A and B are shown apart, each in its own frame.
Chain A
Amino acid sequence: MTSSSLSQVKTYSFWYRYKRYIIPSVLATLLLIAIIIFYRLNPAVTQAVLASTIRQSTPLILGALCGILCERAGIVNIGIEGQMLLSAWTAYMMNVWSGNLLLSVIVGALTGALLGMLLAFTSVTLKLNQIIGGTVINILALGLTGFLYQTGMTTKGKLQPIPLGGLADIPLVGPVLFNNPPITYTAIALVFLLQIYLFMTPWGLRTRSVGEHPRAADTLGINVFRTRYINTIVGGAIAGLAGAFLTLEAVGSFERGMTNGRGFVALAVMIFGKWNPIGAWLAALLFGFANAMQTQFQFMGTFDIPHQFIGIIPYVLTIIVVSGFVGRSRPPAAEGEPYEKE
């Protein structure tokens, strides 16, 4: 019985084996051709839209990476929105106070990490419901920033784009990919770092085992509580970077509720990306693109539709994606469940 089932595994057809690579490569080729055609037709707009896509996707991918780290270890984090918002505010305040941009970014990340620790404490140590823990963070951030925010403060500068030498001179690709501010570069680097971390290193393997079957991990001597704490805290720091991005890189100032649901869209991005950093990045780019198009349409005013309708494009996309357009994607099995040692 076993030998026959083993041999069955090995006789899959070529199509079956490489299906998961063929469809994406075809799509990627089509996309590339489309971009080239548009670039020929209208270089300025194409470049603007693509550059805007990258910018818009940055907070989403950072938020999604936070979600991935937490959920792969079995912690549902719906507090990303709050982590981003409070970090955006602390980073902004640090900037106002000190004017040191690097210090401000670090303070933003630390704020996120601290909120991550709060989430870990409520859900791992206190074993509270994780949805409630996340909601607490969201309300806390909304309340604190709303209460403490004062208008009329002046910031001392914004993170500026850093062209990467000769790479930035390549037409289209250069300005879009290689002429970005530091947090955007960091976000792209983190995508690949976390992909490697999760799937090629022992710590990633252990993290995933804790999210799938914590008891199995425990019987092999893996510290479930510690793993969950570390992932949630590091995830929080990444969400904090997203907050710092909003105030220090994108806008240059703070507004009440400025995250505007990005923390929740990030969760949709995470699900769309099937809990994979690279998958989430592609999903974030898609959402970023929807946002960029929306702005572009409004800017050009070619369509005679009220701008509110164009403005809903990214949100409609979120609803479609989350309501199952993705196909079967399976969350980590133990996510949301507090682990109890016997």
Chain B
Amino acid sequence: MEPNYVLETKNICKDFPGVKANVDVDIQLKTGEILAILGENGAGKTTLLNIIYGLYSQDSGEILLNGKSSPIKNPNDAIKAGIGMVHQHFMLVPVFTVLENIILGSEVLWGPFINKSKARQKIIELSNLYGLEVDPDTVVEDIPVGVQQRVEILKALYRHANILILDEPTAVLTPQETNDLFGIIKILKEQGVSIVFITHKLKEVLEIADRIIVMRRGKVVGETIPSETSEKELANMMVGREVLLQVEKGIAQPKEIVFEVKHLTVKGSSQMHTVHNVSFEVRAGEILGLAGVQGNGQTELVEAITGLRKPDEGMIILDGKTMPIQSPRVMVENGMAHIPEDRHKHGLVLPYELTDNFVLCTYYQQPYSRGAIRDEKAILENAVELIQRFDVRTPSPHSIAGNLSGGNQQKVIVGRELSRPVKIVIANQPTRGLDVGSIEYIHKTLVKMRDQGVAVLLISAELDEIMGLSDRIAVMYRGQIVATVNAADTSREEMGLLMAGLKQQQSE
């Protein structure tokens, strides 16, 4: 055994019903290094980390700490062994203060009571040492996501973690917050903390990692260091075939205005969730990107224009007709396709079979229903055809939608929405949480729709996606469109400034 590995796994195997999540996984973590584990969704990265943190138990294999075999049966064992984990979905109690969240389970005591002032002092010391600026007495639900993540990291450090596991830490962050996080990770490394970092974002891996392990279908398929590899090579390793990272698309040929939103105002529950006097139009044959950091009113805007939420003011014009308020069916019948942000909540009925999910918008129409009676045969034929056309990987058209992987679920939604005669596609975060292969497919499909003369409104928090696909870009900041620019003549930096509200477009 080489003693300089703080953490090692040997032949870890884990099966879930129907899936081999981990097959003989061996990884090694050196003291004070940043190890990135790269892989698509479902590659088994999170499973591996959950095993290391004691949330799952492995079917076979062992974990070694500093060269010694150390069974980790539950998170308590992991915490005692100096392992801290920042989960993808934060494990913070929203109504607790930062301080309460950090000390929970390892409280500083004064007799039988919690010694808050001593705990506060300890937290402030830690945050100064590692450059993690937080206010211990604010309530967690009131602070931005980036700061919540710092609280998660502090939670681990407070428990004397010297191994920090970060599960997709950048998925929820803005570009600026990501930069801040990378700064913090570097400080942690200097202080001797060893870091395991999971992601499927290639740029980040090359920027921050000392060493990269690539996983695919539960196995480790490669190991490399950033100076010896490229985004392209990593993507190919992850997917197991050649992938296109940049969508190929020609110049847009915009025609008539298909979709128009005028003076739309939605009063939300708080400032974060309002839309204030937003107007824009989308033409046939163009992709309008709606950029903005998450939580600047995009969700509310999309809900209002797809009829899911009642706008307080404003007009929605589709194909020359003013749409009645809050009437998704009328909008769908007039040619609107909606790929919703939350595919589980608004995109699919998870316990239904694929056959039924494919006709959610059209079940009441010919040929799927004759009078009040469903035509099962037509519904099945439709499903079989769409599964083939949109390359949905499923054992059967009668499979339950909830059992499919995220990428395939998204293909079901895309198939349902785009197989109808549509005039406008509203795609809200269409590739969120998807792997490189599925992203490539969805991007190609959207560009194809555009070239067929459909208007596309793309809402995304991923700057690369917006820049790569859109012909024009509208930037949302605090519920307003602060700028509309041509994608071709705008730089990433400029977009970043606009999204952060640091720059306003000169009025035309």
Contacts and interface: CB of A to CB of B under 8 A. Distances in A.
A201 B75 contact: no
Contacts of A222: 104-105
Contact of B75 (A196, A208, A218, A333): A218
Interface in B174-217: 176
Contacts of A342: 50, 55-56
A2 interface: yes
A255 to B, nearest CB: 41
| Secondary structure dominating the interface of B | loop
Interface stretch (B139-147, B401-409, B419-427): B139-147
A196 B110 CA distance: 14
A3 B114 contact: no
B109 A216 contact: no
B85 interface: yes
Given A1-B144, A209-B96, A217 B133 contact: no
B94 A212 contact: yes
A330 interface: yes
Interface string B57-80: 000000000000000001110010
Contact of A220 (B50, B56, B79, B143): B79
Given A2-B146, A219-B91, A212 B105 contact: no
B76 A221 contact: yes
A2 B55 contact: no
A213 B95 CA distance: 10
A219 B93 CA distance: 12
Given A2-B133, A2-B146, A213-B91, A219 B55 contact: yes
A126 B144 CA distance: 38
Interface residues of B, number: 38
A134 B85 CA distance: 37
B114 A330 contact: no
Nearest to B116: A200
Given A202-B114, A215-B91, A220 B105 contact: yes
Contacts of B138: 6, 9
Contact of B95 (A5, A218, A219, A330): A330
A173 interface: no
Instruction: Give the contact-size bracket for chain A.
Output: 20 to 34
| Most chain B CB neighbours (cut-off 10 Å) among A212, A215, A221 | A221
A212 B93 contact: yes
B135 interface: yes
B304 interface: no
Contacts of A5: 143-144
Contacts of A2: 133, 144, 146-147
A262 interface: no
Contacts of B96: 208-209, 212
A6 B146 CA distance: 13
Contacts of B95: 212, 330, 333
Interface string A128-163: 000000000000000000000000000000000000
Contacts of B451: none
A194 to B, nearest CB: 14
A205 B113 contact: no
Central interface residue in B103, B114, B144, by most chain A CB within 10 Å = B114
Given A2-B147, A221-B75, A213 B92 contact: yes
B112 interface: yes
B107 interface: yes
A208 B112 CA distance: 17
A205 B104 contact: yes
A209 B133 CA distance: 24
B87 interface: yes
Given A219-B87, A221-B105, A222-B104, A213 B93 contact: yes
Interface centre among A5, A201, A205, A217 (most CB of B within 10 A): A205
A219 B75 contact: yes
B143 A209 contact: no
B100 interface: yes
Nearest to B80: A221
A209 B104 contact: yes
Nearest to B79: A221
A202 B55 contact: no
A202 B75 contact: no
Interface string A245-262: 000000000000000000
A55 interface: no
A9 B94 contact: no
Contacts of B176: 1
A35 B119 CA distance: 44
Task: Point out which of A201, A209, A215 has the most chain B C-beta atoms below 10 A from its C-beta.
Answer: A209
A5 B144 CA distance: 9
A195 to B, nearest CB: 13
Nearest to B109: A202
A250 B446 CA distance: 74
A213 B96 CA distance: 10
B371 to A, nearest CB: 38
Contacts of B133: 2-3, 6
A1 B94 CA distance: 20
Contacts of A212: 93-96
Contacts of B87: 219
A201 B114 contact: yes
A206 interface: yes
Contacts of B144: 1-2, 5
Contacts of A330: 95
A193 to B, nearest CB: 11
Interface string B443-471: 00000000000000000000000000000
Contacts of B74: 221
A133 B454 CA distance: 54
Contacts of A213: 91-94
Interface in A180-225: 196, 200-202, 205-206, 208-209, 212-213, 215-222
A225 to B, nearest CB: 12
A3 B146 CA distance: 12
Nearest to B85: A219
A5 B85 CA distance: 27
A200 B107 CA distance: 11
Given A201-B112, A205-B100, A216 B92 contact: yes
B105 A6 contact: no
Contacts of A209: 93, 96, 104
Contacts of A205: 100, 103-104, 107, 114
Contacts of B114: 200-202, 205
9 contacts: A1-B144, A2-B133, A6-B133, A201-B112, A208-B93, A212-B94, A213-B94, A220-B75, A342-B56
> Which A-B residue pairs are the 6 nearest by beta carbons?
A221-B76, A220-B105, A216-B91, A202-B107, A213-B93, A212-B93
Interface of A: 1-3, 5-6, 9, 196, 200-202, 205-206, 208-209, 212-213, 215-222, 330, 333, 342
Interface of B: 50, 53, 55-56, 74-76, 79, 85, 87, 91-96, 100-101, 103-107, 109, 112-114, 133, 135, 138, 142-144, 146-147, 155, 176, 500
